[in-house]
Structure 1
Amino acid sequence: MKSILLGLVLLLTLTSCTKKSESPEGTVSSQAKQELVVGTDAAYAPFESETADKTVQGFDIDILKAIAEKSGLKLKFVNTPWEGLFSQLQSGDRDILVSAITINDERKKVMDFSEPYFEAVQLIALPASSKITKFDELKNSKIGVQTGTTGDEVSSRLLGKSNPNIKRFEGTPLALQELENGGVDAVVADNGVVNNFLANNPKTFKTISDASFSKEYYGIAVKKGNAELLKKINDGLSAIKADGTYDRIYKIYFGEKKN
């Protein structure tokens, strides 16, 4: 009898193991009962930043947490430098990226994006006394940007990628501090980050936009081909937009949403 019972136990164990292995590695099915690791560069307030005790917070964080609640996902947020963010996703060390990442054709070749969750545009921050009125007047100026961002890309097109007048920083707040100290003549960065910095650090700055700056849209990224996880994220995003959760979070960080 014991031999029969032992055989049944072994059979059930083998069957269980076989079923688990049928779930494709890297899909949300194989990760449903464990934490999904979310990479975010927590130096981009108000979208993501770190508290004194190293807790990651911000608009992106709250939005993804709300999505996870709707979709039954368990998340672990890990502060990840921007320069290594995308490679961490490719290697599988991160399952999801949320970090004010602009959706563009180049990035879509190597990762999949959710539906857009935020509309942004570039702003130019300048000393209040500056006579600059448009972007191409910065051709002979020192421009501060965050490395690898849209601000870096548009400034590189204007001045040339290797131009020493482009001063690259790990974070936009560092670039804005350099503007305050007189080390650069202007900073080009996303409107949400620039406006947040100026609201919390009243300085003698002004901001201007430019007709050459296109609207851009942020998306949540997953590894290329992880359609099941992407669907859960999109379904959750749709749900929080429908029930008013998205608008409530937006208001906390940016005021009333303009439609």
Structure 2
Amino acid sequence: MKILQWFVPLAVIALLAGCSGTASDGNGVIKVGTDAVYPPFETQKGNGEIVGFDIDIIQAIAEAEEMEISVHHTGWDPLFEAIDRGQMDMGISAATITEDRKKKYDFSEPYFEAKQLILVPENADVKSLADLKGKKIGVQSATTGEAVVTKAFGKTYKGLRGYDDTPGAIDDLVAGRVDAVVADNGVVQDYMKKKLEGGKFKTIEDDSFDPEFYGIIVKKGNQEMLDKINSGLEKIQNDGTYDKIYNKWFGDKK
């Protein structure tokens, strides 16, 4: 099924949604929000097309359930607001399922397991997060990367540097403006493969970091949409489609 992809400012989406509280456009097209600055999960090409692992997954789910979808780059915080207001029917954006988020939103069954990684210069004497105490640490704001740093050093930790996206934090690490970056393994590894070749940086796995699981977000109580998503996810996991998509973006699934 063809997937439509647009960037639409939230103000315009609000006008389209009107007062109905539903994101559907009247033609049965289901609106999917994402923050398309998180390769390899979601990113925009030069022509505005949104691509990535998450996009392939939601497209496959839509095909399995015979749904027509359109994908919109909303940004990170606005994604949750758009779901709250009924301006988006669902969101997929490498969103970790957490107890706090589950209080406000419903999540699909997990579709990806992730873990936080620490990215530092190759010569850094760092073996765990604890070794970064007193250092400047870059994170994407309002993510689990930020959460593990504040859990370790406190919410008022002066060395914490928040960014709109993880690539921005890594760029500042390369420029020497922060000493380390803490972020999801998939994003860090993809960035290293594409832009940090040459052995100048390394990743550290901290055993204190718990595994995380990504889920697809829907408005609290939208059981019909949640059931369709979970049904489609189960189908693509059982028929091999999920593994093909995983291998495309991350290599052979272990």
Native 8 Å contact 1:27 1:228 kept in 2: no
What is aligned with 2:71?
A: 77
Does residue 205 in structure 1 map to residue 196 in structure 2?
no
What is aligned with 1:38?
A: 32
User: What per-residue deviation string (whole Å, max 9, x for no partner) do you get for residues 28-60 of structure 1?
Assistant: 9x8894211111000100000000011111000
The partner residue of 1:239 within 230, 235, 245 is: 235
What aligned pairs does 1:103-118 form with structure 2 within 5 A after superposition? Answer: 103-118=97-112
What is aligned with 2:7?
A: none
Between Structure 1 and Structure 2, the one with more helix by share is 1
Deviates more, 1:152-161 or 1:170-179: 152-161
Native 8 Å contact 1:89 1:95 kept in 2: yes
Moved over 3 A (4+): 25-28, 30-33
What is aligned with 2:179?
A: 185
What aligned pairs does 1:2-17 form with structure 2 within 5 A after superposition? Answer: none
Does residue 249 in structure 1 map to residue 245 in structure 2?
yes
> Tell me, which stretches of 5 or more residues in structure 1 are unaligned?
1-24
Indicate how the Cα distance of structure 1 residues 210 and 159 shifts in structure 2: closer, same or farther if over 3 A, else same. Answer: same
What is aligned with 1:158?
A: 152
Amino acid at match of 1:124: I
What is aligned with 1:22?
A: none
Native 8 Å contact 1:136 1:158 kept in 2: yes
What aligned pairs does 1:95-110 form with structure 2 within 5 A after superposition? Answer: 95-110=89-104
The partner residue of 1:128 within 104, 107, 122 is: 122
Native 8 Å contact 2:129 2:206 kept in 1: yes
Cα separation, 1, equivalents of 2:129 and 2:143: 17
SS in 2 for 1:188: strand
Cα separation, 2, equivalents of 1:91 and 1:162: 31
The partner residue of 1:218 within 214, 221, 239 is: 214
What is aligned with 1:9?
A: none
Native 8 Å contact 1:26 1:226 kept in 2: no
Structure with bigger gyration radius = 1
What is the Cα deviation at residue 158 of structure 1?
Answer: 1.9
SS in 2 for 1:145: strand
Aligned-pair Cα RMSD in Å: 1.6
Cα separation, 2, equivalents of 1:164 and 1:172: 19
Cα separation, 2, equivalents of 1:195 and 1:175: 14
Amino acid at match of 2:215: G
Native 8 Å contact 2:22 2:87 kept in 1: no
Cα separation, 1, equivalents of 2:46 and 2:27: 30
SS in 2 for 1:102: coil
What is aligned with 1:230?
A: 226
Indicate how the Cα distance of structure 1 residues 57 and 122 shifts in structure 2: closer, same or farther if over 3 A, else same. Answer: same
> Tell me, which stretches of 5 or more residues in structure 2 are unaligned?
1-19
What is the Cα deviation at residue 199 of structure 1?
Answer: 0.3
Q: Report the TM-score when normalising by structure 1.
A: 0.87
- Once the two structures are aligned, what percentage of the paired residues are identical? 48
Cα separation, 1, equivalents of 2:27 and 2:131: 54
Q: Report the TM-score when normalising by structure 2.
A: 0.88
Cα separation, 1, equivalents of 2:218 and 2:144: 20
Number of residue pairs aligned between Structure 1 and Structure 2: 233
What aligned pairs does 1:170-181 form with structure 2 within 5 A after superposition? Answer: 170-181=164-175
